[in-house]
C-alpha cells in the first residue's frame, strides 16, 4: 500500500468515527422543556380519541414518564422491546408511566403491532410522524428514541437510543429518588 492509500483509509475511518459519535452522542444542548409546537402536536389514541402531547403529559404530571418513540416497521424498535419490558419490570410499582409514541403512517399496522408484540403502556400515534413538530423538536434522527420526563413535566433525558442505555436508567432512578 502506498502512502496515499493509507491516508485515504485513515481519513475515511476518521470521518466514520466522527459521524458515529455525532449520531450516538453529540446532539447539542438538552432542552429542559418541550417547545410549544411539540406540546401542541396532535396525537391519536388507540381508541380513536385525539389529544395533544401537552394534554397527555399533563395527565401524567406527578409521574416520571418514559417516552418510547417507535414504529411498527422499525426493526431496531421491535428488537429492543425485551429491554423495554425489562425496564418496565424494574420500575413496576413505582411512579413511572411508559408512553409509546408511534411515528407510523398506517394506523392499522400501528394497532396490529401493539397487539402482536404485546406492548404494555399508553399508546399514541404522532400526527405528522417523523416530520411532525414533535419529531423536529427531538431532532429525530433514529428510532427507537427514549426521552425521560420528570414529575414536573421537564425533560430529564433528551436522547437515548437503546432501552438499556445507562443514561436512561440513571435518569429514571434519579427522578424516582427525587420524587420520594
**pLDDT, tens only, 103-153:** 999 999 999 999 999 999 999 999 999 999 999 999 999 999 999 999 999
Q: Give the integer Cα–Cα distance in Å for 128 and 43.
A: 9
Q: Are 148 and 175 in contact (CB under 8 A)?
A: yes
Residue 13 has pLDDT above 70, yes or no: no
Q: What is the pLDDT of residue 29?
A: 81
pLDDT for 9: 57
Q: What is the mean pLDDT of residues 35-62?
A: 97
What does the radius of gyration of the chain's CA atoms come to, in whole angstroms?
18
Average pLDDT over every residue of 71-89: 96
3-state secondary structure of 99: strand
- Identify the pLDDT of residue 17: 45
The predicted structure's pLDDT at residue 149: 96
Hey, what CATH class is 31-179 in? alpha beta
Name the residue among 92, 98, 102, 85 with its Cα closest to residue 149: 98
Of 115, 131, 133, nearest in space to 123 by CA: 115
- The predicted model scores a pTM of 0.82
The strand pairing partners of 147, in sequence order, are 67
59-63: Cβ within 8 A, 24+ apart: 60/97, 60/99, 60/122, 60/149, 61/151, 61/152, 61/153, 62/95, 62/151, 63/95, 63/96, 63/97, 63/151
**Predicted local confidence at residue 21, as pLDDT:** 38
Q: Where residue 8 falls among pLDDT bands split at 50, 70, 90?
A: low
pLDDT at residue 30 above 80?
A: yes
* Residue 26 pLDDT class (50, 70, 90 cuts): very low
Amino acid at each position: 500500500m502506498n502512502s496515499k492509500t493509507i491516508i485515504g483509509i485513515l481519513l475515511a475511518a476518521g470521518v466514520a468515527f466522527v459521524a458515529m459519535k455525532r449520531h450516538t452522542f453529540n446532539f447539542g444542548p438538552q432542552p429542559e422543556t418541550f417547545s410549544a409546537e411539540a406540546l401542541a402536536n396532535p396525537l391519536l389514541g388507540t381508541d380513536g380519541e385525539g389529544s395533544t402531547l401537552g394534554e397527555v403529559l399533563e395527565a401524567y404530571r406527578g409521574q416520571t414518564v418514559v417516552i418510547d418513540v417507535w414504529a411498527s416497521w422499525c426493526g431496531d424498535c421491535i428488537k429492543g422491546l425485551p429491554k423495554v419490558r425489562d425496564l418496565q419490570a424494574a420500575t413496576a410499582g413505582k411512579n413511572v408511566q411508559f408512553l409509546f409514541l408511534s411515528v407510523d403512517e398506517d394506523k392499522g399496522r400501528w394497532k396490529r403491532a401493539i397487539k402482536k408484540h404485546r406492548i404494555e403502556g399508553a399508546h399514541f400515534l404522532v400526527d405528522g410522524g417523523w416530520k411532525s413538530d414533535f419529531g423536529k423538536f427531538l431532532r429525530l434522527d433514529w428510532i427507537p428514541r427514549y426521552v425521560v420526563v420528570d414529575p414536573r413535566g421537564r425533560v430529564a433525558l433528551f436522547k437515548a437510543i437503546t432501552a438499556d442505555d445507562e443514561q436512561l436508567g440513571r435518569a429514571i432512578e434519579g427522578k424516582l429518588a427525587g420524587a420520594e
